[in-house]
Amino acid sequence: MKVGIAGTGRMGAAIAARLMGLGHELTVWNRTAEKTKELAAAGAKVAASPAALAGSVDVVITILTDEKAIEALYNGPQGLLSGGVTGKLFIEMSTVRPEVEVALAAKVNLKKAAMIDCPVGGTTGPAREGKLFGFVGGEDADVARARPLLDQMCRRAEHVGPVGSGARMKLAINLPLFVYWQALGEALLLCRSLKIEPERLMSILAVTSGAANAIKTRGGAVAAHLAGKDAGPVSFAVDGVCKDLETMIAAGKALGGTLPAAETALRCFREAAGAGLGEADQSVLPARWAKRQ
C-alpha cells in the first residue's frame, strides 16, 4: 500500500517518520517546502503538488491546522481532489468541527473515493512512537481498510461512529485538558509564596487527586517554564489551543449548549497569545499565570 502525507507540520512530520520507520514507501507534500527536507533526506518522495501526491498513492493522510487549510489543500488549485482519485482512501486527522469532516467526506465520495476522520490525542512524541489515541469516524468498510495503518499510528484507535464522530470525540477530550492548564496556573499562583522548587512542586501536584493525565508527560515542561529554563521543543502551540477551544465552543453552540469553562480558558490562552506566546508550547500557560502580579 502506497501512503502519502499532505501537510508535514509538527504532527504530519512525526507520523511520517513513524510510518517510514516501519518500512512504508512514503510520498509527502507540504505548502512550505522546507518542512519536507528532513523526510526527503530520510528517503521520502516529495510530490510536486497535492494533486500529484493523491495521484501517486493508495492512501492519503492529512493533519492540518484548521478548516481553511483543509479547504485549500483538498479543494484549491492542484488540490488533492482536483485529479482522478477513484478508489483511494483519505484519512483526515486534523482537529476541526465535525461538520467540516462530514462536508469533506461528501466531496471525497463524489469523486468515488472514501474518507474517514481520525483526529488524535497525544503530541509529537507519541506520534513518532505510534502511540497516539485515534478517534475514528467512518463507514465500517472504510475503517477496516484503514485499520492496519491506524494501528501503526495509534496505541488505540476507537471507531466511535460515522464520519465526523472522531472530530466530536477529539474536541471532547481536549476540553478538560485546556481548562486544566488554566486551573493548574491558578493552583500554582496559590502556592507561589511557599517558594517550593518547581520540579518538587510539580512532583507533588502530579500525584494528587487534582492532577490531570497530561501532567505525567508535560509536568516537566511546566516546571521548566516556572524555573525560566528551556522547556524543550513545542508539542502543541498556544495558537493551536485557541483554535481548538474556538472549535469546541462553536460545536457546543451548534448543539444549543454553552461551555463557560472553555470560554474562560479561551480568554486566558488568547491573552497569552496576545503577549507574544502564540508559538510557545501550551505548557507555558500555567507557569505564566503563576507568575502574574
Ligand X SMILES: NC(=O)c1ccc[n+]([C@@H]2O[C@H](COP(=O)([O-])OP(=O)(O)OC[C@H]3O[C@@H](n4cnc5c(N)ncnc54)[C@H](OP(=O)(O)O)[C@@H]3O)[C@@H](O)[C@H]2O)c1
Which residues bind to ligand X, rule: CB under 6 A? 7-12, 30-32, 35, 63-65, 68-69, 72-73, 94-95, 120, 123-124, 235-236, 240, 244
Comparing CB distances to ligand X, the nearer of 12 and 138 is 12
**Cβ 190 to ligand X, closest distance in Å?**
28
**Cβ 189 to ligand X, closest distance in Å?**
26
Grid cell, residue 255, equals 448543539
Q: Which of 12, 126, 128 is nearest to 69 (CA)?
A: 12
**Cβ 24 to ligand X, closest distance in Å?**
19
Identity of the residue numbered 203: S
Comparing CB distances to ligand X, the nearer of 178 and 289 is 178
**Cβ 194 to ligand X, closest distance in Å?**
31
Q: How far apart are CA 204 and CA 51, in angstroms?
A: 52
**3-class state of residue 112 by DSSP:** coil
Comparing CB distances to ligand X, the nearer of 9 and 162 is 9
Comparing CB distances to ligand X, the nearer of 29 and 289 is 29
E strand segments, the chain: 3-6, 26-29, 45-46, 59-62, 89-92, 114-117, 120-121, 132-137, 154-161
Q: Which residue is nearest to ligand X (CB)?
A: 9
**Cβ 126 to ligand X, closest distance in Å?**
9
Comparing CB distances to ligand X, the nearer of 8 and 283 is 8
Contact present, 143 and 117 (Cβ < 8 Å): no
Contact present, 98 and 251 (Cβ < 8 Å): yes
